[in-house]
Chains A and B, each alone.
Chain A
Amino acid sequence: METLKAQKKDSKSQKAIRITGAEAIIHCLLAEGVDLIYGYPGGAIMPVYDELYKFQDKLTHILTRHEQGATHAAQGYARVTGRVGVAMATSGPGATNLVTGIADAQIDSTPMVCITGQVTRSLLGSDAFQETDIVGISTPVTKWNYQITRVEEIPEIMAKAFYIAKSGRPGPVLIDITKNAQFDELDFVYEKCTKVRSYKPVPKPETGSLEKAAELINSAKKPFIVFGQGVILGEAEAELKAFVEKTGIPAAWTILGLSAMDTDHPLNVGMVGMHGNYGPNMLTNECDVLIAIGMRFDDRVTGDLNTYAKQAKIVHFEIDPAEVNKNVKVDVAVLGNSKETLNAILPLVDKKEHKDWKGEFDKMYQIEYDTLIKNDIHPTKEGLTMGEVIEQINVASGHRAVMVSDVGQHQMIACRYAKFKQSKSNITSGGLGTMGFGLPAAIGAKMGAMDREVVAIIGDGGYQMTIQELGVIFQHNVPVKIVVLNNDHLGMVRQWQELFFDRRYASTVMTNPDFVKIAEGYHIKSRRVSGRTDLQEAVQEMMASKDPYFLEVKVEKEDNVFPMIPSGASVSDIRLK
């Protein structure tokens, strides 16, 4: 046995090569299958950039115009591919500029590795030029972080970084590397990490939990499924579909679960949450068994917890034990990866149909359609609505595009009305609600899925937070389609001011620049639409373009997004107007 083990190890071990830490970092990235990274150079990371120069045939580095853009691009890439996104920056301000993207990736469980340069080891703690404690700063918003101060640590720590970022519930990892460790040499050997002694990425379901869950599901008269991003991260789309179709249970999605199931599937009943659909929200408080799959009962989903699904037994399929009973007390928790647990429960559940119960959802959809959806996507009033723009994109894309949205009204409208046939198609900042996410994330998404159409839907507010990334689109001719839904306001905040602050529009009115001219300045094809007659043709022109394309749509200035669950209210207090 011992010899067997030794032999195995022997055959795996490569010949060590004597290289610098900076070169070692490149080799680690290549060994992890990374061929694309986003970043911004600077003093403390220069040795690594020097190596990137030498390895540019194997590893493409995209210079974003701000480090925040690098993180969002890496996120967009990760979300569309399921692989680990990589962002790189220098110490000090370079590192602190990554923080928003890291926090976004943490709350939305996006696998990302960020590499930052750090001042040389002997200067640590001395307030040296561009020294900042990025490990301290990023601790609350990373799944793991580490500061490498000795060159020998590089291979093991980098391997660990990629393993931790991707395994279990994914998340961002930050590795800070002092300059001396980049310059020094080591005998480099790389071995992928497959386990960490204190870390159990995927918990096993407790004995009997699957049977208990199946029993509740089989005896339910009005069961209801809510699925989240856990299905996408666990690549359990087929298993979810099989489970839904066998049990006949109506299924709704959280905003990050969108696209895990065909939006036109007859049992797909829409979105839950603050601006979700009427039926799924109302019927949350009427179902008898609520089956939550890979979602975390965020407050934007549940509204007031004291009145959330109190009548229902709750079954929670979840990979992260800390999420179980965190917000909502559950009756049965099925721990594990959604692909495995859904597979395991499938033979235990009865084949059923819930026609009458599904009919309740249909009835409520009809109410919602007549009251507002119709006016959103087929308006008869003069001003353009955000909903009709999304509808035109649906028509032009045949439900096959990747949609990247920013944060605000346009995001809610986009996620309400976009149609998808394929998973990993909806990329949005859900948990953190990061304005400025959209444009750089769309760059990453497009570069991760060059064979797919990527449409960024952005508001005029968020667009101006990361507008500088147009430079990347221009320089690398990244053919993303950018749609700015311009209402000359910070629309969502304005909506809240209208509804809850007596129309005191504090700092939400914007005098905007000529966005078309700005795009033209970057040599990006562009067009502005302000009337219905041109909309369809403009969208078609955009979608047909082989090059990047910018489309500004002047929409109604003071439209609101409905339905809406007022902050802190119950899901069943959802307002249609």
Chain B
Amino acid sequence: MGKQWYTISVYSENHVGLLNRISGIFLKRHINIESLNVSKSEIEGVSKFTIVVFTTEDWTRKIVGQIEKQIEVIKAYYHTDDETIYQESALFKIASHLLFDERQIQNIIKESNAQIVTVNREFFALAKTGRRHEIDEMHDALLPYGIMQFVRSGRIAVTKATMPISEILQEFQEN
């Protein structure tokens, strides 16, 4: 079975030890977490982990099963890239003088649909949201001029299919 990118979405209680428990499941099977994002979800009081892995479907399914059996996990899903709408964000910090010395930088900003977050005498910061390859392209374009700092976030994703978490929670309550 071939490897591909999977986005694992974990709906859970907000519990301090859970990240450790979840990451341990990946560790045991030597699967690298390519990106991880934890945030609140659409349901009040429910957290959402978005984890990206590059592996086979069989292993993803087994991992999701083992995540789901953790006490604080309400439900875990996995999806392929085709089944999700996903984005990453990146911040670039660049020396301000380059904006005037290197005219090409302005074109890069325009073409990549990046936003200027702040400008001061020493540096300016650019924010870019998009697919991984778009951020990589922008990074590569800016690299020759010098990037003072660069950071990219984990993937965030929503699925095309519905995730009936509220119903599942309701079911838990009734059991």
Contact = CB atoms under 8 A, between A and B. Distances in A.
Interface string A138-154: 01100111110000000
B135 interface: no
A136 interface: yes
Contacts of A556: none
Contact of A321 (B24, B65, B73): B65
B13 interface: yes
Nearest to A194: B175
A164 B24 CA distance: 20
A139 B17 contact: yes
Interface residues of B, number: 22
B41 interface: no
Given A322-B68, A326-B62, A198 B24 contact: no
B71 interface: yes
Contacts of B28: 140
B74 A198 contact: yes
A320 B62 CA distance: 12
Nearest to B171: A200
Nearest to A201: B175
A143 B172 contact: no
B12 interface: yes
Interface in B156-175: 169, 171-173, 175
B130 to A, nearest CB: 34
A325 B74 CA distance: 21
Nearest to A324: B65
B40 interface: no
B3 interface: no
Interface in B120-175: 169, 171-173, 175
B169 A136 contact: no
A145 B17 contact: yes
B107 interface: no
A146 to B, nearest CB: 7
A195 interface: yes
A196 B169 CA distance: 11
Interface of B is mostly: helix
B69 interface: yes
B69 A196 contact: no
Which of B61, B71, B169 lies at the interface centre, i.e. has the most chain A CB atoms within 10 A of its CB?
B71
A135 B19 CA distance: 13
Given A143-B71, A321-B68, A322-B69, A135 B175 contact: no
Interface of A is mostly: mixed
A381 interface: no
A198 B175 contact: no
B34 interface: no
Contact of A197 (B62, B65, B68, B172): B172
A200 B21 CA distance: 18
Nearest to A197: B172
Nearest to A140: B24
B66 A198 contact: no
Interface string B1-35: 00000000000110001001100100010000000
B167 to A, nearest CB: 13
B72 interface: yes
B24 A197 contact: no
Contacts of B73: 198
B162 to A, nearest CB: 19
Interface string B53-83: 0000000011001101101111000000000
Contact of A146 (B17, B20, B65, B171): B17
B20 A198 contact: no
Nearest to B16: A147
A337 to B, nearest CB: 13
A321 B169 contact: no
B71 A164 contact: yes
Nearest to A322: B65
A197 B17 contact: no
Given A164-B71, A321-B69, A326-B65, A198 B17 contact: no
A218 to B, nearest CB: 30
Contact of B71 (A140, A147, A196): A196
Interface in B64-118: 65-66, 68-69, 71-74
B21 A139 contact: yes
A157 B123 CA distance: 51
A322 B66 contact: yes
Given A139-B20, A139-B21, A198-B13, A144 B65 contact: no
Contacts of B20: 136, 139
Contacts of B68: 321-322
Interface in A106-146: 135-136, 139-140, 143-146
A198 B71 CA distance: 6
A195 B62 CA distance: 26
A200 B168 CA distance: 10
A195 B172 contact: yes
A326 B62 CA distance: 6
Contacts of A139: 17, 20-21, 24
Contacts of A199: 71-72, 172
Nearest to B27: A140
Contact of B13 (A143, A164, A197): A197
Contacts of B172: 195, 197-200
A536 B50 CA distance: 65
5 contacts: A145-B17, A147-B17, A164-B71, A198-B12, A324-B65
Given A139-B21, A200-B171, A321-B68, 20 more contacts: A135-B17, A136-B17, A136-B20, A139-B20, A140-B21, A140-B28, A143-B71, A145-B17, A147-B17, A196-B71, A197-B74, A198-B71, A198-B73, A198-B172, A199-B71, A200-B172, A322-B62, A322-B65, A322-B68, A326-B62
Interface of A: 135-136, 139-140, 143-147, 164, 195-200, 320-322, 324-326
Q: Which 5 A-B pairs have the closest CB atoms?
A: A322-B65, A198-B74, A144-B71, A140-B24, A322-B69
